[in-house]
Amino acid sequence: MKWALLSVWDKAGIVDLAKVLVEHDYGLLSSGGTGAALAEAGIPFTDVSTYTGSPEMMHGRVKTLHPKIHGGILGRRGIDDAVMQEHGIEPIDLVVVNLYPFEAMRDAGLGIDEIIEYIDIGGPAMVRAAAKNHKYVAVVMDPGDYGMVADAVRRGGFSPEERLNLAAKAFARTAAYDAAIANYLTGIDRPFPDVLTLQFRNGRTLRYGENPHQAAAVYGDAGIAGEEPLQGKQMSYNNYLDVDAAVGLLREFEECAVVIVKHNNPCGVATGENLLDTYIAAREVDPVSAYGSIVAMNREVGADVARELVGTFVEVVVAPSYTPEALEIMKAKENMRVLRLPEPVVQDAVRSIDGGVLVQRTEPFREDWQVVSEREPTAHEMRAMQLAMKVCRHTKSNAIIFANETEVIGIGAGQMNRVESAEIAVRKARKPLAGSAVASDAFLPFPDTMEVAAAAGATALVQPGGSIRDQEVIEAANRLNIAMIFTGVRHFRH
């Protein structure tokens, strides 16, 4: 008889798997809640305490930590047979274990004394033992693998490749589990842990990195990192970066909106009543840069929009959904990647530097908009400033954005000084800037940027404020009849 040890916190699918095991002559070892689930289903099993001859102790803290369990898992067939026989140890062929839900309890706001009880000891010990001895023992932690396990049992056993893959997956899971515990314990009473351990799953090798001579991969199974195209080529390293930038800005809008990004910066943004007109308006902000861009939309794409999209070169399209007709039309551009807009994932931002990483957390914040000029902004100017600042938050520094109520009309980004950004935005504008509003991602150290904007026709400006020369800038705004608002929040992006 072969033996399987079943000890799971998550009981999903365990009864069905146990039935398959019993049907194929496996003896089952189990205890606690898993044993209760098997008993309720009428599935025969041997209680761990009965098998080991030792009762559970310390309210279940000690039950599987026993030589007859770990010897059965670690025993090497043909090498340790004699000692196993001497001590009455049955070889265990399959270990099905998942762990106490430490991560979920960590996020539930429990005190340390409570959460400590959700640190699994016996489970990881059995998993690691089985994974080490995977030549003889198959180890399963993910209920999603139960179907594969059942198939292997029905055909008579696991292939060496399956055993190795399961072992690697098990070690990855215990590593993530230990990392979560270490991050929690070293981060008590401080915003970030002293030692940070990160793990991302679902690794996929990309064709290359930012350039063809660089190797790259993407990891993650949620959000943008977890998305696979509905059509088109494999996503590239640069595609992922640009889609992340586009979607981050798109999520600023509840109304119908289109964001077009090129090289991590917006080159077209518009809002409107319908998606077709909104897309055309966003594209026309800078049609040259829109060539080979990422287009992100927050409404379903229909046939009319799809026909416009295939009329130019677009690298990636992102939207919540697509009509069947739209998907059919977009097949004409077989290399164009088509993605569904994923649900947002809240996480810290991590960037590598020489010898380490930088970690940044953006807590929910609220800007405090205060009029500092003599003239109050009109309702039109206020709406234009709101749109300009939404875009400015997602544009590389030093960012200067001109906008009207519904669309961006001038973008200056990535310059070493703010005046040049303003001059670039003015030079690239394809519509008159008269009556427009301007947003700046950081304070204006001098009036010169405002003077460039005013000369181009802007009548309102929003900025964080906080310069030692704020009063000088305010006086310039009054002299130029500019309505100016301070927000109190800077939005540098590097």
Q: At what angle do helices 32-40 and 14-23 cross, to 10 degrees?
A: 70
Is 331 strand, coil or helix? coil
66 is catalytic: no
User: Considering 263, 380, 428, 431, which one is annotated as catalytic?
Assistant: 263
Burial code (b: 16+ CB inside 10 Å, e: under 16) for 306-318 equals bebbbeeebbbbb
132 is catalytic: yes
CA-nearest of 397, 383, 382, 391 to 410 is 391
Burial code (b: 16+ CB inside 10 Å, e: under 16) for 368-401 equals ebeebbebebeeebbbbbbbbbbbbbbbbbbbbb
User: Considering 2, 24, 132, 380, which one is annotated as catalytic?
Assistant: 132
Which residues pair with residue 489 across a beta bridge? none
Number of neighbouring beta carbons within 10 Å of residue 177: 21
Q: What contacts 269, CB < 8 A, 6 or more positions away?
A: 249, 257, 258, 259, 260, 282, 285, 387, 391, 403, 407, 408
Task: Give 69-76's long-range contacts (Cβ < 8 A, gap of 24+).
Answer: 69/5, 69/29, 69/126, 70/125, 70/126, 70/129, 72/3, 72/5, 73/5, 73/126, 73/129, 73/130, 73/133, 73/137, 74/129, 74/132, 74/133, 75/133, 75/136, 76/133, 76/135, 76/136
Which residues are catalytic, by number?
132, 263
